[in-house]
Every structure is written in C-alpha cells, then in structure tokens.
C-alpha cells in the first residue's frame, strides 16, 4: 500500500457462454495484467468462469467439473502474485450447487463465499439451479481443486498480513440490492472494502440506479465498494449485459466504466481514511463479530503508479457550484436570522475593509435582513481607514455599502491609535506587532461601542482559514458577537463572492469582482509611495490554497503529516515545488498548534461544511498542546 491507498481492479474479460477453457485463459490473462499494473485486489464477474447465462447447462456435471478444472488453472497462475483475486464460479457442496465467489491468493484458494439472495423474478429464475447460502453464520470446510481445507460460508473477512486496514469481504450481485445486504454485517465485522461479483442485465435507466446503489452503500457503510459486472459475452437470448463496473468509496464514485465496454477498471481506495472515518464517526456501529472467520492473505509493499486525482480546493464542490453556493449562503443567513430574532436587536454593525471576508459578511447580513423584512438601512456598515488603508479598498468599501443599501459610516481611527501609542509609550515609528494590532483592536472597540449605541450586534468577518492559522488579532478582529464566516475557508469565500457577483450583477457585482482581484491584506502597514498594498498576507503565512488543502486533510481526515505532504505534492505538482509545499506545511502545523487559544474563545458562528473549529462542538484541543510530534515527522521527510 501507498499511504493507505490500495489499488483495486474490476475486470470484465472477453468470455464465451459455457466455454470454460476460453474463459479461464482470459481470466488468467486479466489477472496477470492487473497485477502488472499494481492492483492488490482484482474482482471478476459473477459465474464468469462459465457464464451466468448457462441456464439448464448448470445441471450438467461436465460443466461443473470443467469449472473446477479451470479454477485449478487460475489458482496455479496466481502463484507468487501477492494479490487477492475473486472469481465467480459454480461450486457443488453436499449435493447442492452454489453461485460462489472464490477467493484466491498466491496459489491458494482461501475461501468460497456462496450467494445469499437468489433472484426468482421473471428474467432469471436463479433458484432453479442454485441453493442460497446456508442460513446463520455457520461455515463448512470443503475440498476444491485439490485443496482439502477450504472455508465455505458467507461470514468471512480477508485481512492483509502486513496492512491491518486492508480488509475485504464479498457479496454477489443481488446481495447488494437486498434490504439486509451481507455487506452490512461484513463492514460491522471490520471489512473496509466490499467486492461484488455481479451479472446485472441492462435495461433503460438501470445503470443510474446501480451507480446510486454503489454510492449509497459505500457511504452508509463507510467502505470501498468494487462492483464488477458481466459484459456482452453473456447470452443475448433474452437480455444484454453491459459490463458496468463501478468503484466507490465513502459515497464517491472513484471510477466507472462505460456501458458495453470490456476490460479492466482501476481505482485507488484509501483504506486508512475509511478506518479513520469509522473511528471518528460511527465506532459504535462497527464492532468485531466473533462469529466471523478471519483469513489472512499475502500482499506486496511495492509502490504503484498513483493515478487518483485530488482537488486543489477540497472545500469547493467540483459540480453544482451554484446550487452549493446558494445553500451555504442560506445556512449562514439562517444562522444570523436566528441570532437577530433571539436577541431582539435593531441593527447589525459590520466592519468593511474592502476585502473578501467583510464583503461576504455584509452580503450575508443583507440577505438575513431581507428575509426578516428589516430595512437594509439598519445595517450599519463601518469603514475605518488607518495607516495602511489604500484608496482602492476604501472606495470599494463605500461602493459595496452603497450598492447593498446599508448605512455607511466612515470613521478614521489613525488619530485614536496615535493617542493610544502615546498613552502606552509606543513610538509610531516602531512598526512592530503592537503597531499592527493596536489598529485592529481600535477598530473592534469602535464597532462594539457603535453596536451599543445603535442597539445592534457586531457581525464577525473572520473566516475558517484565518482561525486555523491564528491570522487574527486577539480581541481585535478575532472578536465579534456572531461570526457568520467562521466555518467558511478562504478558497470557498472567493467562490461565494464570485457567485454573488454574477447573481446580483450591476454595481454590486462590479465592486465584488474588483474585491476578488484585490491582493489579500490586513492593510496594517503603510502603502507604497504609489498607493499600492505592501503587506501581502500570503507572502507572510503562505498561499491559502495550500493551507485550505492542509486544513481539510489534517482536520477532516486526521491524516499523518507524511500523507498530507504526499497528497499536496500530487495535487500541486504543477504549481509548487516540494520545498515550497513542505515549508508551508510546517508553518501550518506550527501556527495551528500555537494559535489554539484564539479558537478556544471564538464567538458563536454557524457550521456550513464538514470542517469547523468551534470549541463547543467540532474541535476540542488543548491550547498548550505541542506540535513536536507532527513536525518531527516532517523533518524526517
């Protein structure tokens, strides 16, 4: 495995109905090709060794004997291949015939898993030929292909010898469609990957339903799901088969074949992530069942060519962006509506800087006021120019306030800050952290006092990325009476602003577009001689696109530093070199641990996504925890 990723393969080779010798050769060919491409788990379709559509030929002893001989050849061909292979075959046991998944590894048959649910509706009549799996969790030991002690039963889990999180269990076709799928108990007993050997006929609309089943099953069970379907080599007497292979993981489709394509479909399932998700979200549902039979299998530690793609912006949806943006804004708006109604205040006070976060806070506040039927003029939007304010940001602040319809107040704070410097004996020429933070705290003081004057609440503007990095002045912009952006990361803020700019259009849309194109800065240091911003946030703390990526995989999935670094290299190999990524990853860990005290007393704010750093629910961390363990891992890279 590579950082917890297991390469898997759903293989639909060419086949001929009842031509076991031909099918056996094609299966062996596919097994070897899959192994050459680094697959540690290969799944074939239901009854693929002879064909699902053999009909009454399943009653012919010659066919059943040929299938056993073919299985023997496949087993021999897997010797020295450190991969787990599942082949569909009819297996006779104690006078009954079963539709089975035969698990093979390194020249051995590990187990035979019979199908639990047999369809008996009009197209198939499968019960005509096969017996269902024995009831309960009991199992037998049978002889097959010269192997004298082979497990036969449905309650078994295959566990990789060297990788404890690489655990696999099998079900067959109809089993997934049943209300109580065997995979439910498989995953409760510890299986992280479910394989399904299937032969599903193709009808109009069925592919979408099949895809949804895999998606939902993998989400509900927090598992990887490898669905392998029979192709057009099956009989077309009454039906066609499209070879619709699907690889899912925790509610996502990682890979999917086109209908009526034959071949091998690959995907990389993160079993480490799946195991972590279960521990984090649903450990009470997943407990080892002592009645399950654990079977060890051999696998390899060799690396494979990594093909899985990771979004550079995991907080931003790849599809349906407009719909998702509207939902996020609605969540923010609704949270603020509740707070305004509960407190009974007349106004909302928002500090407007001409930057992204305050623009989003003002937009959300305006939406909440509209929904409550409150006049937009009761939004008191305050811009407070000081030493670093540029004409561009000041003008954009005023234009945005005007276009929204809020009441504008311009309150320069430079004189107040200078008086404060004099009071505490700080030289105005000393542009240290006191010089910067005094401005932020003065602005917060102004906003808080205005809120008292106007019977209002101060609406916070800080976002999730700033909270993660501690990029906020303690008791300055760190503080408010309700933080509408507190679980919205910077990369998502940009997309929400872009969405609103397009949706609203006009003057407001134009000013939002200019804000999007403005350098991100706290503007606490004087501008250049030509009036341009000199203090650039991302030059100091690092690119937000990287930090949001780190935040997602560190907090949402609790990945180790080495894995986060590996994924970042894969995702950003065209934008950043390894040295740069490592530099900012170390910086993220240092700041994330050092700045927890700011998050321990952050204001209320509604959660909009899967990551929140609220100390009241989602993230409870000691303010004095050390980052040494995580940084040492990065130092060893």
pLDDT number for residue 279? 86
Q: Is 298 a catalytic residue?
A: no
Q: Which residue has the tokens 């096969």?
A: 130
Mean of pLDDT values over 468-488: 96
145 noted as active-site residue: no
- Per-residue model confidence as pLDDT tens digits over 68-90: 999 999 999 999 899 999 999 99
pLDDT of residue 285: 63
Beta bridge partners of 147: 144
Confidence of residue 305 (pLDDT cuts 50, 70, 90): confident
Q: What's the CATH architecture for 5-297?
A: 4-Layer Sandwich (3.60)
CB 397 within 8 A of CB 390: no
Q: What is the total residue count of the chain?
A: 637
pLDDT of residue 288: 56
Alpha helices in 37-165 (DSSP H): 61-77
Say which CATH topology domain 321-635 has.
Answer: Rossmann fold (3.40.50)
pLDDT of residue 79: 93
Q: Sort strands 379-383 and 407-410 into parallel, antiparallel or unpaired.
A: parallel
Question: In sequence order, what DSSP letters do the residues of 116-131 get, joined into one string?
Answer: S----STTT-GGGT-P
From 7, 115, 185, 563, active-site residue = 115
Average pLDDT over residues 150-166: 93
Q: Is 173 a catalytic residue?
A: yes
Check residue 1 and give its pLDDT.
Answer: 67
Angle at CA 473, nearest 5°, toward 426 and 363?
Answer: 130
* Per-residue pLDDT, 20: 96
Identify the CA nearest to 23 among candidates 59, 73, 58, 61: 73
Q: Cβ neighbours of residue 305 under 8 Å, at least 6 residues apart?
A: 37, 38
Distance between CA atoms of residues 114 and 92, nearest Å: 10
Distance from the first to the final alpha carbon of the chain: 18
Report whether 301 contacts 164 (CB < 8 A). no
Distance CA 532, CA 388 (A): 10
Dump pLDDT digits (tens) for 501-552.
999 999 999 999 999 999 999 988 999 888 888 889 999 999 999 999 999 9
| CB-CB contact of 461 with 336 (8 Å) | no
Quick check: 556 and 464 in contact, CB under 8 A? no
More confident residue, 292 or 401: 401
Residue burial 112-144, b: 16+ Cβ < 10 Å; e: rest: bbbbbbbeeeeebebeebbbbbbeebebeebeb
pLDDT at 121: 62
Give CA–CA dist 332/500, Å, rounded: 14
Three-state SS at 576? coil
Confidence of residue 289 (pLDDT cuts 50, 70, 90): low
The single-letter DSSP state of residue 192 is: S
At residue 44 the predicted structure's pLDDT band, cuts being 50, 70 and 90, is very high
Domain boundaries, the chain: 5-297, 321-635
Chain-centre distance of CA 522, in angstroms? 31
Q: In angstroms, what CA-CA distances link 76 with 72, 142, 144, 147?
A: 6, 19, 13, 12
Q: Do residues 247 and 265 make contact, with C-beta atoms less than 8 angstroms apart?
A: yes
CA nearest neighbour of 367 among 409, 410, 406, 407: 406
Catalytic residue among 67, 100, 156, 173: 173
pLDDT tens readout for residues 222-251? 999 999 999 988 888 888 888 899 999 999
Name the active-site residue from 46, 126, 234, 256: 46
Q: Would you call 73 helix, strand, or coil by DSSP?
A: helix
Does the pLDDT value for residue 320 go beyond 80? no
pLDDT at residue 239, as a whole number: 81
CB 163 within 8 A of CB 299: yes
Average pLDDT, the chain: 93
HSE-CB at 253 with a 13 A cutoff on CA atoms is 16
Per-residue DSSP letters for 247-267? EEETTEEEEEPPTT--EEEEE
- Whether the CB-CB separation of 329 and 363 falls below 8 Å is answered with yes
Do the Cβ atoms of 116 and 186 come closer than 8 Å?
Answer: no
The pLDDT-based confidence of 290 (bands split at 50, 70, 90) is low
280: confidence class by pLDDT, cuts 50, 70, 90? confident
- Asked whether the predicted pLDDT for residue 5 surpasses 70, the reply is yes
């Amino acid at each position: 495995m590579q950082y917890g990723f297991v390469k898997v393969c759903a293989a639909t080779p060419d086949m001929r109905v009842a031509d076991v010798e031909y099918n056996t050769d094609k299966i062996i060919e596919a097994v070897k090709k899959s192994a050459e491409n680094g697959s540690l788990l290969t799944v074939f379709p239901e009854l693929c060794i002879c064909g699902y559509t053999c009909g009454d030929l399943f009653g012919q002893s010659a066919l059943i004997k040929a299938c056993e001989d073919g299985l023997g050849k496949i087993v021999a061909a897997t010797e020295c291949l450190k991969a787990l292979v599942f082949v569909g075959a009819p297996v006779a046991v104690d006078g009954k015939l079963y539709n089975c998944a035969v698990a093979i590894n390194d020249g051995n048959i590990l187990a035979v898993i019979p199908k639990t649910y047999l369809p008996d509706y009009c197209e198939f009549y499968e019960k005509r030929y096969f017996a269902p799996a024995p009831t309960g969790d009991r199992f037998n030991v049978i002889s097959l292909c010269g192997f004298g002690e082979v497990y036969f039963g449905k309650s078994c889990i295959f566990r990789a010898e060297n990788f404890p999180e690489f655990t696999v269990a099998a079900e067959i076709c109809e089993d997934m469609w049943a209300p109580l799928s065997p995979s439910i108990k498989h995953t409760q007993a510890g299986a992280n990957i479910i394989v399904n050997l299937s032969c599903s006929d193709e009808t109009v609309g069925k592919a979408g339903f099949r895809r949804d089943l895999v998606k939902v099953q993998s989400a509900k069970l927090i598992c990887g799901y490898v669905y392998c379907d029979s192709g057009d080599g099956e009989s077309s007497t009454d039906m066609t088969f499209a070879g619709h292979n699907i690889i899912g993981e925790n509610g996502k489709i990682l890979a999917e074949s086109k209908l009526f394509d034959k071949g091998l479909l690959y995907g990389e399932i993160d079993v480490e992530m799946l195991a972590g998700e279960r521990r984090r979200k649903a450990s009470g549902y997943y407990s080892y069942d002592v009645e399950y039979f654990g079977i060890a299998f051999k696998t390899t530690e060799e690396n494979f060519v990594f093909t899985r793609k990771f979004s550079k912006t995991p907080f931003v949806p790849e599809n349906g962006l407009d719909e998702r943006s509207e939902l996020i804004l609605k969540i923010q708006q609704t949270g603020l509506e509740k707070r305004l109604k509960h407190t009974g205040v007349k106004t909302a006070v928002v500090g407007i800087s001409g930057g992204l976060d305050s623009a989003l806070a003002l937009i959300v506040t305006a939406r909440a006021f509209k929904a409550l039927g409150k006049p937009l003029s009761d939004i008191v939007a305050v811009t407070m120019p000081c030493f670093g304010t540029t004409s561009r940001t000041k003008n954009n602040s005023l234009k945005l306030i005007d276009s929204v319809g809020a009441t504008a107040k311009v309150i320069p704070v430079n004189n107040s800050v200078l008086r404060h410097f004099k009071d505490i004996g700080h030289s105005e020429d000393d542009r240290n952290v006191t010089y910067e933070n005094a401005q932020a705290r003065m602005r917060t003081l102004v906003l808080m006092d205005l809120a008292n004057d106007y019977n209002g609440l101060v609406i916070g503007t800080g976002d999730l990325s700033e909270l993660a990095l501690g990029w906020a002045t303690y008791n300055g912009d760190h503080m408010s009476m309700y933080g509408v952006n507190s679980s919205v990361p910077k990369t998502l803020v940009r997309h929400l602003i872009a969405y609103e700019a397009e949706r609203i259009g006009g003057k407001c849309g134009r000013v939002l577009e200019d804000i999007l194109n403005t350098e991100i800065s706290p503007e606490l240091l004087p501008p250049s001689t030509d009036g341009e911003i000199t203090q650039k946030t991302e030059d100091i703390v690092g690119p937000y696109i990287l930090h949001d990526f780190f935040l997602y995989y560190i907090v949402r999935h609790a990945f180790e530093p080495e894995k986060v670094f590996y994924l970042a290299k894969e995702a950003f190999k065209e934008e950043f070199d390894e040295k740069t990524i490592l530099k900012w990853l170390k910086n993220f860990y240092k700041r994330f641990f050092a700045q927890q005290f700011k998050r321990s007393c952050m204001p209320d704010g509604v959660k909009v996504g899967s990551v929140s750093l609220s100390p009241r629910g989602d993230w409870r961390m000691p303010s004095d925890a050390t980052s040494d363990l995580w940084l040492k891992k990065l130092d060893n890279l």
